[in-house]
Chains A and B, each alone.
Chain A
Amino acid sequence: MRHQTQTSTKSRLSQTIQSIPPSGIRRFFDLASAMDDVISMGVGEPDFVTPWNVREASIFSMERGYTTYTSNSGLPELRAEITAYLADEFRLNYDPEQEIIVTVGASEAIDLALRAILDPGDEVLVVEPCYVSYDPVVRLAGGVPVTVPTYQDQDFKVTPEDLASKITSRTKAVIFCFPNNPTGSIMTRQELEAIAAVIESHDLLVIADEIYAELTYDTRHVSLCNLPQMRDRTVMISGFSKAFAMTGWRIGYACGPQDIIQAMIKIHQYTMLCAPIMGQKAAIEALKNGREEKDKMVESYRQRRNYIVRAFREIGLDCHQPQGAFYAFPSIRSTGLSSTEFAEQLILEEKVAVVPGNVFGESGEGYIRCTYAISLEQLEQALERIDRFLHRRV
């Protein structure tokens, strides 16, 4: 295809967008997609299809003609179900009328929250390694991302000292995700209390991405909003993608203090209007009748988590014990390769796709992210191939 000559002489793209590098995952995606028989440990979603009762409920709602817009903040029934669910599962109390918004995936909620609170130049502490969107979305909202790295010797948890060392007079907020993608690490109540003290003393806001809250394997998830002093400073973000295996439906939500949620609704009503009604109907069914199925999925992830961590250690990779989400994050430093080199050579030689850790921030360098949301047979085969790959390098 011949490219048309640009007619305008001014720079067409904003400086903001030019400052954002293209996604590091893209190249691997192209590489992996061109090959056959690849075992992919590179996906960020469950290997379960959405439970049938949920799919069926959505089909039924379409048959009955539910194909319209909904209220900007989401169907009242869904908001009520979500707040009741949060109270049940996590002892969180939110007003379904004023303190919650249903969004197009948790991703939109992150964007809305940042846009609602940031003025140009405001700094946001981004706890890394983390999901790839935080840094660019902060920039798009006019903010300045400031990295707070976490380390394996602290189980990839964020400490009050790490946070405090990055705070300046421009710091407005912190964004983090626990249970974490890509490390699988979690924060206990005590650890949250410790960082809460720093957050409070510097009067910061928090965007707590808790999309993996249901997927913890050794202890129950503690939300930052379970700390009374944090509730009014925190926008808690979650959704249906991971725990209910509903990634493609794009239904997420944010809960938080009324002023911020209402500001988010203002942006959402002008830029998105509402989340798709089919997904909202499905989400209602998931909360009403999908919890048992969800628990079964969690059990299955736990078993595979146990399997993969032991298997990585057996083939000689140093792998910290992830306590949540569905990723293992083994260190590949012993090979002397960079994350990117490791991932690239692994896929070319053994047809196993993993995600290089540095995609999730510089502190992810030296690691690879491997999802264990694949069948046990595939896990066994993938580990065999990685073992073979490592042997050639000793």
Chain B
Amino acid sequence: MSPERIKELLHLLEENGNLKPKTIASMMDLPEEEISQTIARLEKERVIVKYPALINWNKVEDHGNVRAMIEVKVTPQRDVGFDDIAARIYKFPEVKSVYLMSGAYDLSVVIEGKSLQDVALFVSQKLATIDPVISTATHFILKKYKHDGVIFDEDEEDKRMIITP
């Protein structure tokens, strides 16, 4: 399969991880076999990493979790740069994502905890105490409007008339 078509396949799965190989085969006008094999290969190569569902937790009562984005400044280390320190941070299960950033700080870390206090404690006791960490700034996330291209409260009603020429 050409790189272009692989990208097309990946876009389809990124949009809907639930698509069956048969459906994708129809949409891309390719044999089902080829789709299944390519997906298997992409999974093995960890190009496709996982098929999670995107959940609007706001709608679930008592889910109780709070999230915060932490700006972390660190001293990069000889030979390994930021990778080692990033690994020390992302191995904590409380850490949901870690990005290396350009600009005023180095690592952007998203933490999830059961309460504000929980998150604050994690930052002060686990994160801030890591040796190369110079400083942290914690921003709690109050409401999620859009995540990974998906608008959470979008009005999806079809406004078209039912039959038009």
Contacts and interface: CB of A to CB of B under 8 A. Distances in A.
A55 B8 CA distance: 28
Nearest to A24: B165
A43 B26 contact: no
Interface in B1-24: 8, 12, 16, 19, 23
A91 interface: no
A19 B162 CA distance: 27
Interface in B78-129: none
Nearest to B12: A303
B140 to A, nearest CB: 28
Contacts of A140: none
Given A303-B12, A306-B28, A380-B23, A33 B165 contact: no
Contact of A43 (B8, B19, B162): B162
A303 B27 contact: yes
Interface string A178-193: 0001000000000000
Interface in A284-305: 299, 303-304
B26 A44 contact: no
B163 interface: yes
Which of A25, A38, A40, A353 lies at the interface centre, i.e. has the most chain B CB atoms within 10 A of its CB?
A40
Contacts of A33: 162
A47 B158 contact: yes
Interface string B28-52: 1100000000000000000000000
A299 B15 CA distance: 14
A353 B160 contact: no
Nearest to A314: B26
Interface in B116-165: 158-165
A40 B26 contact: no
A359 interface: yes
Interface in A169-207: 181
Nearest to A181: B165
Contacts of B27: 303-304, 306-307, 376
A92 to B, nearest CB: 27
A23 B161 CA distance: 16
How many of chain A's residues touch chain B, expressed as a range?
Answer: 20 to 34
Given A304-B27, A306-B28, A359 B165 contact: yes
B28 A47 contact: no
A355 interface: yes
Contacts of B161: 29, 43
How many of chain B's residues touch chain A, expressed as a range?
Answer: 10 to 19
A319 interface: no
Contacts of A310: 26, 29
Contact of A28 (B12, B19, B163): B163
Contacts of B28: 303, 306
A40 B162 contact: yes
Given A303-B28, A306-B29, A44 B164 contact: yes
Contacts of A311: 26
A42 B163 contact: yes
A315 to B, nearest CB: 12
Which of B28, B159, B161, B163 lies at the interface centre, i.e. has the most chain A CB atoms within 10 A of its CB?
B163
Which of A33, A42, A380 lies at the interface centre, i.e. has the most chain B CB atoms within 10 A of its CB?
A42
A43 B164 contact: yes
B99 to A, nearest CB: 25
Contacts of B16: 376
A196 to B, nearest CB: 28
B162 A307 contact: no
B26 A307 contact: yes
A141 interface: no
B162 A25 contact: no
Nearest to A377: B16
A73 B128 CA distance: 66
Interface in A11-65: 23, 25, 28-29, 32-33, 38, 40, 42-45, 47, 49
19 contacts: A25-B163, A25-B164, A42-B163, A43-B160, A43-B163, A44-B165, A45-B164, A47-B160, A49-B159, A299-B8, A303-B12, A303-B28, A306-B26, A306-B29, A310-B29, A359-B165, A376-B19, A376-B27, A380-B23
Interface of B: 8, 12, 16, 19, 23, 26-29, 158-165
Given A28-B163, A44-B164, A47-B158, 19 more contacts: A32-B163, A40-B162, A42-B162, A42-B163, A43-B161, A43-B162, A49-B159, A133-B165, A303-B27, A303-B28, A304-B27, A306-B26, A306-B28, A306-B29, A310-B26, A310-B29, A353-B163, A355-B165, A376-B16
9 closest residue pairs by CB, A with B: A42-B163, A303-B27, A306-B29, A307-B26, A44-B164, A310-B26, A132-B165, A32-B162, A29-B163
